[in-house]
Amino acid sequence: MAERGTVVVAMSGGVDSSMAAALLVEQGYGVIGVMLRLWAACSTRDNRCCTPDSIAAARQVAAQLNIPFYVLDYREAFRHIVVDYFVSTYAAGRTPNPCILCNAHVRFGLLLKEALALGAQYLATGHYARVRRTETGEYQLLRGLDLTKDQSYVLHRLTQWQLQHVLFPLGDWLKSDVRRAALQRGLMVHDRNDSQDLCFAGENGDYRAFIAQYAPQLLRPGPMLDTSGTLLGQHRGLAFYTIGQRKGLGIARAQRTYVVQLDPARNAVIVGNAEELGRDALFASSVHYISGQAPPSPARVTARIRYKSPDIPATLTCLEGDRAYVQFDRPLRDITPGQAVVFYQDEVVLGGGFIE
């Protein structure tokens, strides 16, 4: 075995995971490249994970780095764990984030176990996040140093056991430096587009087209109502709408109008004005804490309610049954059931759960 141990690196054919692999090789690890085949649908978009193009790109990088490279068929698991959840969450009138489940159960679940079985000690990815081991031996998940690329939000469900075996070589890199470093190393992928979230959705990352193909029942038209129950028009199916959405509602009202609620029981979309949208608190369920246990609470935190939304100061109260209550310092327009709320203290991820 290599001096620093053996690591399996999950490659997507994009610049980030390619650089992650290159750095690990330079740091003296024995590196094994793998690519997960997650979804069967054919797409020629070159920033889609697991297209023939992406496989060829990752294979080429692996050849440049002189590391073994394998494509692993995870389509079955991905469908059961991620796609079914994605569809059923929409069916319940909520807005899913499939990347979170994929990371928790597929990438850092099944693949991590497979990596360890291969004789590796670590699994590495190109995520922008950091892992720190404290003096007491506890593993902490930290934001990526490049705050514009930070991906800790989608990693907030990782456990102590997983973090012990995870390497994020790009955690203290800036994205702009990654591209330059890839170019310097002559990696063919230095100018490839970034991998997209919703890797399995169709062209342009349009999840609605995906829903139309795989869960057409979610595209049943129904009433669009205001908060007092007045019928304003028809909607095209709940899956086309998310809380806070203002565009594409297809109705004309004097004041700015937003989606404020999705009601699967009545197959209705409820719209209202900005004041009706705002909430300053939420309940979350299936809350996971990185440390393995709930922190003393109430606790002052900052919280993110979407992957790309800013941190909002809030007070976290941990509740029984893996639930939590989050009181924000100011009202927010886009608290969306189904999305994750992730709690931070400075750069440390405390954990998170799903918005009820």
- Helical pair 15-26 and 52-65, crossing angle rounded to 10 deg: 20
For residue 262, what are the CA distances in angstroms to 7, 245, 330? 44, 11, 23
**Separation CA 8–CA 17 (nearest Å):** 11
- Could you say whether residue 209 binds other proteins (CB under 8 A)? no
Asked if 1 touches other proteins (CB under 8 A), the answer is yes
Count residues binding other proteins (CB under 8 A). 34
Q: Cα separation of 315 and 298, whole Å? A: 6
* Token duo for residue 192: 């490839």
Is residue 161 at the binding interface for other proteins, with CB under 8 A as the rule? no
Interface residue with other proteins among 19, 20, 25, 326 (CB under 8 A) is 25
* C-alpha–C-alpha distance, residues 219 and 342, integer Å: 30
Segment lying near other proteins (by CB under 8 A), choices 28-36, 83-91, 241-249, 292-300: 28-36
Among 19, 20, 49, 55, binds other proteins (CB under 8 A): 55
- Per CB under 8 A, 66 contacts other proteins: yes
The minimum distance between CB 124 and other proteins, in angstroms, equals 13
The rounded distance, in Å, linking the Cα atoms of 328 and 184 is 45
167 binds other proteins (CB under 8 A): no
**In this chain, which of 41, 68, 177, 285 binds other proteins, going by CB under 8 A?**
68
Sheet holding 222-226, edge to edge: 231-235, 222-226, 268-272, 258-263
Q: Which is nearer to other proteins, 114 or 322 (CB)?
A: 114
**Residue in 41, 73, 133, 275 binding other proteins, rule: CB under 8 A:** 73
Helices (H), 194-249: 207-214
CA distance 95 to 98: 10
DSSP 165: T
Alpha-carbon distance 322 to 69, whole Å?
A: 40
- In whole angstroms, how close is the CB of 99 to other proteins at the nearest point? 19
Binding mask 102-131 for other proteins (x = CB under 8 A): --------x--xx--xxx------------
Check binding of 2 to other proteins (CB under 8 A): yes
Binding segment (CB under 8 A) for other proteins, from list 20-28, 87-95, 198-206, 274-282: 20-28
Q: Is 188 in the site for other proteins (CB under 8 A)?
A: no
Q: Clarify whether 42 is annotated catalytic.
A: no
| Catalytic residue (choose from 50, 99, 102, 318) | 102
Do residues 192 and 48 make contact, with C-beta atoms less than 8 angstroms apart?
Answer: no
26 binds other proteins (CB under 8 A): yes
318 among known catalytic residues: no
Helical packing angle, 207-214 and 84-91, nearest 10°: 90
Q: Is 37 in the site for other proteins (CB under 8 A)?
A: yes
Pairing outcome for strands 323-332 and 340-345? unpaired
Active site residues: 102, 199
Q: Residue numbers of the site for other proteins (CB under 8 A)?
A: 1-2, 6, 22, 25-26, 28-32, 35, 37, 52, 55, 65-68, 70-77, 110, 113-114, 117-119, 185
